[in-house]
Amino acid sequence: MADHARKTKVCSWNEWDPLKHVIVGRADGTMIQAPEPAVEREWPEYGVPLGTCGRLPREMEDKANEQLNNFAAMLEKRGIRVDRPTPIDFSQAVQTPDWKQATMFGCMPPRDVLLTVGQEILEATMSYRSRWFEYLVYRPLLEQYFKEDADFRWEAAPKPRLTERTYKTDYWTRFKTWTEAEKLERTQARDWVLTEAEPCFDAADVARFGRDLLVQQSTVTNAAGIRWLRQHFPNHRIHAVIFKEDAPMHIDATFVPLRPGLALSNRLRKPLTPEMAELFKKNDWEIIECAKPAHDKKAKFSFCSVWLSMNMLILDPKTVCVEASEREQMEQLDRRGFEVIPVPLWDVAAFGGGLHCATADVYREGTCQDYFPHQIPGF
């Protein structure tokens, strides 16, 4: 049998069509990254002051892997094929001709790196030096899909140089001096740590709705990155969006499609792009506010927020996986007619996110549909 005649098929157009094949991340070797212009980690309350880096504690890693393995096993039991990345040594220093970075990060959140649009999987640029080489952990899988699916479009966005030109290098120092109101002014002005010197984006800033893609401009995705995506996907309509949040990173704990005609919006992070509300209204989409999260503070060593409560994996338009402690979120979706599958995953938060972050689509049934036939000019 020719390689490409095997069963692998890459295709996924949205977040809700029936899921048949998915990548689930691993916690192995995840690092608290060394400081770099794009990001500084510090948890003095847990004995990790600014400038410290190192592997997350082994007992945390084991617990996270146990939850990820159980999640993968549950998906497999439901007939979904699950693939896993190949971890590398994330404690190693990495370098390009332009810079040297003391550590990498990890391979828990494939959603940050891989963007599936139809038959294409696009490796995102990323904007952290510690994540520049993260695509390597997915290469064994992508090589396999390439061999097995003759129609697979394997793409990689141009790797950014990530020199000092890419960043406002004093941004995080200044950020700490700003009031909440001043931080929000920066958001309104789309003024975060990235400059516009070169295109940068994380795949998790994209929410897929068939022909329409919402792309959040954020601390990891700049306007040049959105423009690159627009030029790369000429048959899609790319809508640049922002939300009321001081240091946004990834749209999947902020605005989440649930099924055709229904989307979930963060109850605090309101859209700051009025055209977005208009687009949804004009096309008869209902936007509901997410439920109150179960947690009132971030998980230990987590850079993700409590809004992982709305970071979910949709298995089909009637079935959704929600983190098991998020009782109110589960009840809300149950009232909306979903079968809700509770999945314990809170111990994975420190490794890079929730259920959506921990996965990347390879194959969902369905075709590319137009869910927004009535467009807003200029948006």
Q: How many residues bind ligand ABU (CB under 6 A)?
A: 12
Closest CA to 361 of 81, 3, 7: 81
Which amino acid, one-letter code, is at 55?
Answer: R
Q: Is 374 a catalytic residue?
A: no
Q: Is 357 in the site for ligand ABU (CB under 6 A)?
A: yes
Q: Pick the closer one to ligand ABU by CB: 247 or 288.
A: 247
Query: Among 290, 304, 321, 357, which one carries the catalytic annotation?
Result: 357
List the one residue from 307, 338, 351, 372 that touches ligand ABU (CB under 6 A). 307
Kindly give the residue spans of alpha helices, DSSP state H, lying in the chain. 58-77, 110-113, 139-148, 171-175, 180-188, 223-232, 274-282, 327-335
**Token pair for residue 67?**
């939850």
Q: Pick the closer one to ligand ABU by CB: 11 or 60.
A: 60
Q: For residues 345 and 324, is the Cβ–Cβ distance under 8 A?
A: yes
List the one residue from 11, 39, 72, 204 that touches ligand ABU (CB under 6 A). 204
Q: For residues 307 and 299, is the Cβ–Cβ distance under 8 A?
A: no
Tokens 């096993």, residue located: 73
Q: Is 304 in the site for ligand ABU (CB under 6 A)?
A: yes
**Token pair for residue 224?**
């040049």
Roughly how many angstroms between the first and final C-alpha of the chain, as a whole number? 47
The single-letter DSSP state of residue 69 is: H
Q: Is 250 a catalytic residue?
A: yes
Closest CB 205 distance from ligand ABU, rounded Å = 9
Q: Pick the closer one to ligand ABU by CB: 10 or 276.
A: 276
Q: Is 85 in the site for ligand ABU (CB under 6 A)?
A: no
Q: Is 121 in the site for ligand ABU (CB under 6 A)?
A: no
Q: Pick the closer one to ligand ABU by CB: 90 or 351.
A: 351
Q: Is 11 a catalytic residue?
A: no
**229-258 residues near ligand ABU, rule: CB under 6 A:** 249-250, 252-253
Catalytically active residues are 202, 250, 357
